[in-house]
Structure 1
Amino acid sequence: MCCIIYKPKGVQMPSLDILSKIKKLNHNGYGFVSTNHFHKGLDYRTFLRHLSEVGDDEDCIIHFRLATHGSICRANCHPFAENGVYFAHNGTLNVYPVGDMTDSEIAFRMKIYPEIQRFGYGTKQADWAIKQICGYSRFAMMYQGEVRLFGDYKILNGIYYSNLRWL
């Protein structure tokens, strides 16, 4: 199961030790989006180099992937993006497979993003529709610097984690 980390603005990034512990369990790709940066890929050192550019004054959503659907490749790393909306997922979703896409990307592109287009990012209607899709999963989204979290997150030292399996 993947791990999402949300580091709010004004909070320090998780330590390299914590990131390393999460990587040991979720080593099939890494990505993040912050107020001013976006990166995803398969090389952990490159990921850390880009992540080090994120300032404490930025919101940041980080994703560590453990592949369940779709191959291990950069395209299947999170976050996924569509017209400035960034999306990361932890869990499994009941969606019909499409090519080599992950269940996360299929749900985002075919269900979640259309609801955002229909109702607008952050509206009550869009949030309600997204919660119905989310189920027991966890979602993290960012659009124009505004972060939305769905599902049950654990908070340690001001940082939100989609799970604490790495502890």
Structure 2
Amino acid sequence: MCVLIIKPKGVKMPDARKLQMAFKANPHGCGCASSTKFFKSLSFDTFMRKLAKVGDDENCMIHFRFATHGSIKRANCHPFKQGDVYFAHNGIIDIDRTDDRTDSETAFDEMVYPAILRYGWNSEEVKTVASNLCQYGSKIALMQNGELLMFGNFIQDADGCYYSNHRFMYCANSFAQ
């Protein structure tokens, strides 16, 4: 299962070891969105170089992918972008997909983003759509103009960041060497 990490404004990035554990447990790509950066990569080293340019003074969503729907390629990494809105998801959404898209991208393109266009950012309608997608344990993050919305039960860690799950940390012993 993927991991979605939210670094709030004013909080430092998770340490490199924690990010490396997240990537090793979810090795099918990674991505980031903040008010100043947006990128996706299949390479952890490239990801870390770009992530180092995100400031502590901005909100940031970080995603490490474990492919469940859609092939392993950069385009299927989160976050997804439409206009000035970014979307990242952890979990599985029961939705019909077309082509080689992920369930997350399909839900964003067909449900969440149209609701934002119709009703506005941070509207009750958008909150309802996103919350309904989280009813089976999924977590969702949306960002527009650096403003962050989170849906689902995230875990706030001692580092001040929010995590969709800690499964990647339980794999740490498997990666030690």
Give TM-score scaled by structure 2 length.
0.92
The code of the aligned residue for 2:5 comes to I
Residue of structure 2 in register with 1:32 after alignment: 32
Aligned length: 167
Residue of structure 2 in register with 1:162 after alignment: 164
- Mapped to 2, the partners of 1:129 and 1:40 lie a distance apart of 25
Residues 125-140 of structure 1 correspond to what in structure 2 (within 5 A)?
125-135=125-135, 136-140=137-141
Deviation of 1:125 (Å):
2.1
Q: Counterpart of 2:17 in 1: which secondary structure?
A: helix
Q: CA-to-partner distance for each residue in 1:9-31, whole Å, 9 max, x for gaps?
A: 11010000100111111010010
* RMSD of aligned Cα (Å): 0.8
Q: Percent identity?
A: 47
Aligned residues of 1:27 and 1:66 also touching (Cα < 8 A) = yes
Aligned residues of 2:141 and 2:148 also touching (Cα < 8 A) = yes
Q: Which runs of 5+ in 1 are unaligned?
A: none
Residue 11 (structure 1) aligned with residue 22 (structure 2): no
Q: Which runs of 5+ in 2 are unaligned?
A: 170-177
- Mapped to 2, the partners of 1:34 and 1:133 lie a distance apart of 23
Deviation of 1:118 (Å):
1.3
Aligned residues of 1:115 and 1:130 also touching (Cα < 8 A) = no
- Mapped to 2, the partners of 1:9 and 1:43 lie a distance apart of 25
Deviation of 1:116 (Å):
1.0
Q: CA-to-partner distance for each residue in 1:95-148, whole Å, 9 max, x for gaps?
A: 112110000000100111111111111112211222112222100110011100
- Mapped to 2, the partners of 1:140 and 1:62 lie a distance apart of 10
Q: CA-to-partner distance for each residue in 1:9-62, whole Å, 9 max, x for gaps?
A: 110100001001111110100100011111101111111000000111111000
- Mapped to 1, the partners of 2:43 and 2:107 lie a distance apart of 25
Give TM-score scaled by structure 1 length.
0.97
Aligned residues of 1:28 and 1:66 also touching (Cα < 8 A) = yes
The code of the aligned residue for 1:52 comes to A
Q: CA-to-partner distance for each residue in 1:63-108, whole Å, 9 max, x for gaps?
A: 0000000000011000000011000010000011211000000010
